[in-house]
A and B are shown apart, each in its own frame.
Chain A
Amino acid sequence: MPLRRLSLVVDDDLGPALWVREQTAPGRARALEDLSGLRADAPPAIAEALADAPDHLRHRVRIPGRDGDRRVPALPLAGTSLTAFVGAAAELLRIRFGEDLTAQLSALLTDGAAARLTGELVAMPDLLAAIVLDLRAREVVDGRAMRVRARERFGRPVLEWRAPERDAPELLHALVDGHARPAFAEHLRQAPAPAEDAAGVLWALADDGELRADLPAQRRLTAAFDAFVDSGRPGVQLASTDSELVVRLFQPPVGTAWPLQTCLREPSGAVHPVADLRAVGDLTTAGAAETSAAVMRLAPTVRDAAVDDTGVDWLLTTAEAGEFLSRDTPALEEAGVTVLLPRDWTTQRTTLRPQEAEEENGQEREKKASGVGLGAMASFRWRVAVGDTELTEEEMEEIREAQSELVLLRGQWVRLDPTTLRAAERFLDAFASRTRGARLATGPDGIAPTPSGLPPRHAPAGSSAPALPDLPPRPAEVEGRAPWLEMFSMILSPDAADVDFGMSALVSGGRHGLARLLPGAEGAFPHPPPRSLRATLRPYQLDGVNWLWALDRMGLGGILADDMGLGKTMQVLALLCREREGTHPFGRERPDAEAHEVPDVASAPAPGSLGPTLLVCPMSVVGAWQREAATFAPELSVHVHHGGNRLRDESFVAGAADLDLVITTYSLLARDLAVLSAVPWHRIVLDEAQHVKTPGTQVTRAARTLTAPHRLALTGTPVENKLADLHSLMEVANPGLLGSAASFRDRVATPIEEDGDSGALSRLKLVTSPFILRRVKTDRSIIKDLPEKNELTQVVNLTPEQAGLYQALVDDLMVKIDGADEKARRTLVVSTITRLKQVCNHPAHYLGDGTPMLREGQHRSGKLELIDDVLGAAFAEGEKAILFTQFTTFGRLLVPYWEERFAEYGISVPFLHGGVSKHDRDQMVAEFQGQRDRPGLMLLSLRAGGTGLTLTAANHVVHLDRWWNPAVENQATDRAFRIGQRKDVTVHKLVSAGTVEEKIDTVLADKQSLADMTISPGEDWLSSLDDDRLLRLLRLDEEDS
């Protein structure tokens, strides 16, 4: 039996193939052409593996030899015949080496040696290598780690099982295929046949079934199998498509090169630089390149920027970084790419800070015959600031030249907010041109004289040479002069859109006219209190009187918006007293005053020559005005124009001329407009001026019709619901100051209320601040002698009876609302809210069936139970309480109930509501206030009793049901919490647990913080809620009840 050497080679065309060298004589060998001899001599396993092979070897493979390649006969082996053959050879070696097989094999392979399988059969090194690979192939298949590749073999599409490593030896791939194919065939025989296998994938994997796929489909199949297998390997091969693209900009570590890094964000949120992912093999180079390319597609600036050595990150110049921020960032974010900027990096807004404002004094004005009040010439000086940094001219110049959003300002990189920067530039241009016009009109030579009182400044270009257009550099300070009205309209004009005036106070205020009243200025000229007032004004009240007086002297109107209880009535009475006694035109009270400090625009008129002041107020406070005027200003002759027997003819007009103060109500204002407008009023005062906040109503129209040289609006809440209200009040006080309602809404109200535009708020404050005075009670510097106010929101449980009724109402609404049109739907919801609130108050209130308040001694309402306790405790201490409800019917149920329940204290319960006459109201209030330190209780309807009254005898305030407006509730609370209150006030706001009341209470709490602002943007939120959100509010939350 000759010695035969078995070799396994992989041919480019044939794949794995066996060829055999047979020793014919010592030192002579030939390539076997016929297998029959081998089959006959070989061990059974080898023979069996080759059983199906033809005897004659028709194929040839190329073998490298000493004298170049030669071609030898070979047997192509594929699939099971390959694995069977290699397996048989391995088995023979295993018999020979036993446990040592693996070690022996690797030793043989290292030496490049052959191994004897049997006496006459030798495995050449390439077959030994195949045996090792076969072990690996079995592992791959057992571990189901195979890939699948579609390709064309001899012009026919096939599927091949492959080893997971793409660069594995071809033989390993072939062995994997040889093992996987029968295993899968076995699996397929046991599996139920699938409904559809369009491409014939299954049989192409199990057998040599036909794969129906053209070349692109083959690529897709391969890609799908790759994705499938790769999904079994966690974390690796991040595809750029399933991670979020992130771009990160760093500040220059040194110099001005801004690193820009391409990153990916994993679904877990971790952000990794693409360069790092590629370095550790989690991202392919193609994936990294694709990611970086995506950034370039979206960010044109980056395309031409310098690339760093990673090839996927960039180093931007400052100009490029600025360009990237302004142009590319929006596009990137639009495309869903996150742009990460240096930590704590916010855009810095550019603000225009008013430095100084001054009005010409009287002498100058007379010389130039310019106007008074809003017509007076004023000068304004601005400074430009970025963030908190006020810019020098050099810095302004730098920013202008850089044309970039990124500037190095005093050693720090600053990102400029382009909107406010451009807005500031635009406004200063407009300001320069419009104030120059005014300047040209003042002198024949077109050169403005330096305003007196202001030291000459060295050459800010905008003011010293404004006639030259496009004059660089833009100065850091710009000064210009124009009448106030022009200034104000400029500030509210589109030219000032997006301008932020930043701070609310001037650095140095003026000393003349309106300039004194701007925030940060000196304030109104301080006069002593009027001698004829029979009361001691508190310091802040005197300030208020001086402010009123200053506006009055300039012929301007104002809005006095002090909190309820701070004495607006007193300040108005003091104003009337002062104008009747006058002040010394040259400041007699301050002999040291210099001539140019003359406080008044016009000297006070001689006493006696004044006309009457018309005061319009709600009916409920007519009595209060009358009483306070009689008490504190008895010299004033006061007339109340009210009641059925009031004068309505010529005699009223004639008689009014001799009066100082005429008090009337809003309802009569409209009704008696004809006779009222026939009187030449000296002044019109609108108390509780929120009555004229709604444009178009009869009352508002009437209020705007009446003319008088002096106008004043009083209110405790300048902006009860929206800024439009402020506009309405200002229309009464200073018509035209804030422009038309429409332009005010577009340019001021909407930006503030809907976008929270702080710039618009700063512009509004700058224009309105001289005309609005508001002090709040909680400001301890204003008022030191008011006791504490404790507000308690008390949550009470519904009784089972209440809960049942409540649930039924909600269920009923759900049924009815289905299919209702929008209008009917809204009506349903609104009326249901009312009923729900009634249920929360008391079942008898909702049912209206006259049933008793208690049932067998048990409470039917959680609220009533709690109030009984509160009242019991208060009465025991000899204290009084006032209770507010919005339901008059509920009040009528309560009065007899409490009179009986607290009979031991012998109290009667007065009920002040809309149906009570003025006389009776005054009587009720006087009796209530008269008996301090005795138990007492007054019930008020929120609408009738919420404003104007003084009920400081009570130190408990109970809100039985909630109103949707915190301003209204606070006004009602202020009946007790105002000047004259000596005790701490406890406010009980009752809320039923789990109901609409509790849910809305949270909303109210939020709104309170808005109303606490001087100018409170608010919205009519209830009516703007959509019905679904309303329903969510209404539902009874069982867990809490």
Chain B
Amino acid sequence: MSIRLVSRRGAIGKSWHAAALRDAAERLLGVGRAGSGKADARAGRVQWLDVEAGTARGDVLDADGELHQARLDLPPYSPDDREEFVRIARSRPELPARLAGGIYPEEFERTLAGSELSLLPRDASELSHDCSCLDWPGPCRHVAALTYVLVEAVDEHPVHLLTLRGLTLEDLVAPRETAGSGGADREEEPAPPLPAYDPARTDPELLAAAIGPGPAQIIAAFYGSQDRAGSEDLAADDHPPDDLQ
């Protein structure tokens, strides 16, 4: 498994926010590393990318066939920054859908700037990196390759920027006091009582896809899952495990 970049030539990252991330990272990487990293990224050397709070990680295949664990860090918000960010974001109800749709509104970033906040690295110095290779202190070409893969991922999924800062889309929506207060003309729907959890209902097919039918069966027996209709066997076979990316 390796990650194929969409971009074949020129700069990687089309949207303004991807470009901003790239520019900051390239200042960190320097011209030479950036060039070889870009080539490695385009060659599909990056095996996978994982983004979590503060860290983007990935395995990068070296020319000699060795895997290196590269990572690029962008620090999560401090509690104060986080509170301020959430306050601003919640005044923008459209933001979650925009982010999910691949759009990070530039004017929102400008609003953040008013509070000295940014989802993007404010400076190359805000980024740090690490790699399991011997090229110390780096940044090595593996980190550079990982960076370009991250840039392209962020291009399409700006939500990754939120993740890096330790936030989720859930954080952007204020919890509701009452249900269905969206509008008077809409059907009011009282919140249903939380339905009871029943392990017998669990569907082992959901596991079988990821861990194989044998282990799934044993785990299902542990949970006491009821047998389901045979047709779902087929459904599971039709859907190989999805790549998280």
Which positions in A face B, CB cutoff 8 Å? 143-145, 164, 183-184, 187-188, 191, 194-199, 201-202, 205, 214-216, 219-221, 223-225, 227-229, 231-236, 250, 253, 259, 261, 272-273, 275-276, 278-281, 284-286, 288-290, 292-294, 296-297, 303, 307-313
Once bound together, how far apart are the Cα atoms of A311 and B50, in whole Å? 28
Is A231's CB under 8 angstroms from B212's CB? no
Is A197's CB under 8 angstroms from B214's CB? yes
Is B182's CB under 8 angstroms from A310's CB? yes
Is A276's CB under 8 angstroms from B179's CB? yes
Once bound together, how far apart are the Cα atoms of A231 and B189, in whole Å? 23
B83-105 to A contact mask, C-beta < 8 Å, 1/0? 00000000011111111111100
Residue of B nearest to A221 (CB): B210
B191 at the binding interface (Cβ < 8 Å): yes
Residue of B nearest to A241 (CB): B242
Q: List 21 A-B contacts (CB under 8 A).
A: A194-B212, A194-B214, A198-B212, A201-B219, A214-B47, A216-B50, A221-B211, A228-B219, A228-B223, A232-B199, A232-B201, A235-B192, A281-B191, A286-B100, A289-B99, A289-B169, A290-B100, A297-B102, A307-B93, A307-B94, A311-B94
Is A216's CB under 8 angstroms from B48's CB? yes
Count B-side interface residues using an 8 Å CB cutoff.
69
Is B191's CB under 8 angstroms from A280's CB? yes
Once bound together, how far apart are the Cα atoms of A311 and B170, in whole Å? 13
Is A292's CB under 8 angstroms from B206's CB? no
Query: B residues 123-151 with Cβ under 8 Å of A?
Result: none
Given known A220-B244, A228-B206, A310-B93, contact A289–B215 (CB-CB < 8 A): no
**B197: which of A164, A261, A278 is its contact (CB, 8 Å)?**
A164
Given contacts A215-B57, A296-B103, 14 further A-B contacts (CB under 8 A): A143-B197, A145-B197, A184-B222, A195-B214, A214-B59, A228-B223, A233-B197, A234-B195, A276-B186, A279-B179, A286-B96, A293-B100, A296-B98, A303-B103
Given known A144-B199, A236-B195, contact A285–B181 (CB-CB < 8 A): no
Is B211's CB under 8 angstroms from A201's CB? yes
Once bound together, how far apart are the Cα atoms of A160 and B64, in whole Å? 35
In the complex, which residues of chain B have a beta carbon less than 8 angstroms from the beta carbon of A250? 185
In the complex, which residues of chain A have a beta carbon less than 8 angstroms from the beta carbon of B187? 276
Query: B residues 174-188 with Cβ under 8 Å of A?
Result: 176, 178-183, 185-187
Once bound together, how far apart are the Cα atoms of A253 and B101, in whole Å? 28
Q: Which among B178, B199, B218, B223 has the highest number of chain A CB atoms within 10 Å?
A: B218
Looking at the assembled complex, report how far the CB atom of A825 sits from the nearest CB atom of chain B, in whole angstroms. Answer: 34
Once bound together, how far apart are the Cα atoms of A225 and B199, in whole Å? 13
Which positions in B face A, CB cutoff 8 Å? 1, 47-50, 57, 59, 92-103, 159, 168-170, 172-173, 176, 178-183, 185-187, 189, 191-192, 194-204, 206-207, 209-212, 214-215, 217-219, 221-224, 241-245
Looking at the assembled complex, report how far the CB atom of A73 sits from the nearest CB atom of chain B, in whole angstroms. Answer: 31
Looking at the assembled complex, report how far the CB atom of A143 sits from the nearest CB atom of chain B, in whole angstroms. Answer: 7
Is B221's CB under 8 angstroms from A191's CB? yes
**A187: which of B98, B218, B243 is its contact (CB, 8 Å)?**
B218
Looking at the assembled complex, report how far the CB atom of A248 sits from the nearest CB atom of chain B, in whole angstroms. Answer: 10
**A311: which of B95, B197, B214, B218 is its contact (CB, 8 Å)?**
B95
Is A292's CB under 8 angstroms from B200's CB? no
**B50: which of A197, A201, A215, A278 is its contact (CB, 8 Å)?**
A215
Q: Which among A183, A224, A225, A294 has the highest number of chain B CB atoms within 10 Å?
A: A224
**A197: which of B168, B201, B212 is its contact (CB, 8 Å)?**
B212
Is B101's CB under 8 angstroms from A280's CB? no
Residue of A nearest to B209 (CB): A224
Is B180's CB under 8 angstroms from A228's CB? no
Looking at the assembled complex, report how far the CB atom of B158 sits from the nearest CB atom of chain A, in whole angstroms. Answer: 11
In the complex, which residues of chain B have a beta carbon less than 8 angstroms from the beta carbon of A310? 93, 182
In the complex, which residues of chain A have a beta carbon less than 8 angstroms from the beta carbon of B215? 194, 196-197, 201-202
Is A296's CB under 8 angstroms from B101's CB? yes
Once bound together, how far apart are the Cα atoms of A228 and B93, in whole Å? 32
Looking at the assembled complex, report how far the CB atom of B164 sits from the nearest CB atom of chain A, in whole angstroms. Answer: 15
Once bound together, how far apart are the Cα atoms of A273 and B168, in whole Å? 22
In the complex, which residues of chain B have a beta carbon less than 8 angstroms from the beta carbon of A288? 96-97
